[in-house]
């Protein structure tokens, strides 16, 4: 019974969820680990401050003049300056390391160009060119509520999924044709602005097959909520077979 529950992968938003979706890339794993480490320090700080407040309130509540003539406490001021500085440095170092690692794009194996439009996405596989010199490109629209089939997710499933291979260093080059959009997939640890007239890039190394969902995370107009992202990660053999069929 326990094994069956641990095999369940959470790659979609769930009602009343209190935690992240399951990671599928090293970047997403790093983000979740950093979050857990910071929460550990925050809990220690919360317990320490709560204990200090409790001690001060209940120890000296009946003696209003215990420290009437104290004007300066050099020792305590040194402590409450150095201790928070150490905590902040402990949090900052791994945070900056993770930030720069997520921004690194070194020798990707393939590139996918992502263009945000009101209110759909356009994808282009610029590395794959047919005999006529055309690249593979298509548009992805949200499936309307009245056309949803059983098992499909409202405002998340698209008529055409973005197909990518696993265990492959993929670069996403993002831009926009109208207003600012944002390409974000929680399970992959991806969140990058799509600005008109500008190219931004981010990379991902997907470690397991699955269907991963995202949304436009930048308010882009009246149908902003109807601009989902559906990405299906498959094995390299299945991906090459899909490429040959296009």
Q: What is the per-residue pLDDT for 3?
A: 43
Torsion sign over Cα 98, 100, 105, 106: negative
Contact 110, 127 (CB under 8 A): yes
Confidence label for 134 from pLDDT (cuts 50, 70 and 90):
confident
pTM, entire model: 0.81
What gap in Å lies between CA 11 and CA 23, rounded to an integer? 8
Which residues make beta-bridge pairs with 110? 170
Spatial strand order in the sheet of 181-185 = 162-165, 228-234, 210-216, 181-185, 190-194
Number of Cβ within 10 Å of residue 233's Cβ equals 28
Helix, strand, coil percentages for the chain (3-state, nearest 5): 35, 30, 35
Are 170 and 109 within 8 A, CB to CB?
Answer: yes
Tokens for 19, please give them.
């935690």
Of 70-79, 96-105, 153-162, 232-241, which range is least confident? 70-79
Please write the tens of the pLDDT for every residue from 73-97.
778 788 888 988 988 888 888 888 8
């Amino acid at each position: 019974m326990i094994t069956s529950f641990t095999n369940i992968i959470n790659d979609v938003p769930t009602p009343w969820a209190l935690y992240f979706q399951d990671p599928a890339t090293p970047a997403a794993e790093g983000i979740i680990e950093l979050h857990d480490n910071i929460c550990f320090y925050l809990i220690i700080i919360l317990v320490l401050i709560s204990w200090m407040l409790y001690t001060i309130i209940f120890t000296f509540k009946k003696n209003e003049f215990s420290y009437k003539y104290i004007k300066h406490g050099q020792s305590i001021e040194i402590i409450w300056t150095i201790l928070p500085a150490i905590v902040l440095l402990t949090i900052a170092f791994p945070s900056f390391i993770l930030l720069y690692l997520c921004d690194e794009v070194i020798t990707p194996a393939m590139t996918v160009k992502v263009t945000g439009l009101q209110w759909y996405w356009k994808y282009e596989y610029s590395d794959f060119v047919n005999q006529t010199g055309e690249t593979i490109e298509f548009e992805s629209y949200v499936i309307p509520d009245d056309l949803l089939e059983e098992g499909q997710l409202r405002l998340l499933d698209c008529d055409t999924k973005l197909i990518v291979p696993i265990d492959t260093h993929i670069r996403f080059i993002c831009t926009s044709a109208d207003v600012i959009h944002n390409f974000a997939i929680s399970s992959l640890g991806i969140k990058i602005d799509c600005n008109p007239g500008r190219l931004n890039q981010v990379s991902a190394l997907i470690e397991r097959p699955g269907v991963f969902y995202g949304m436009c995370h930048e308010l882009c107009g009246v149908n902003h909520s109807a601009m989902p992202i559906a990405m299906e990660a498959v094995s390299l053999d299945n991906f090459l077979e899909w490429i040959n069929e296009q």
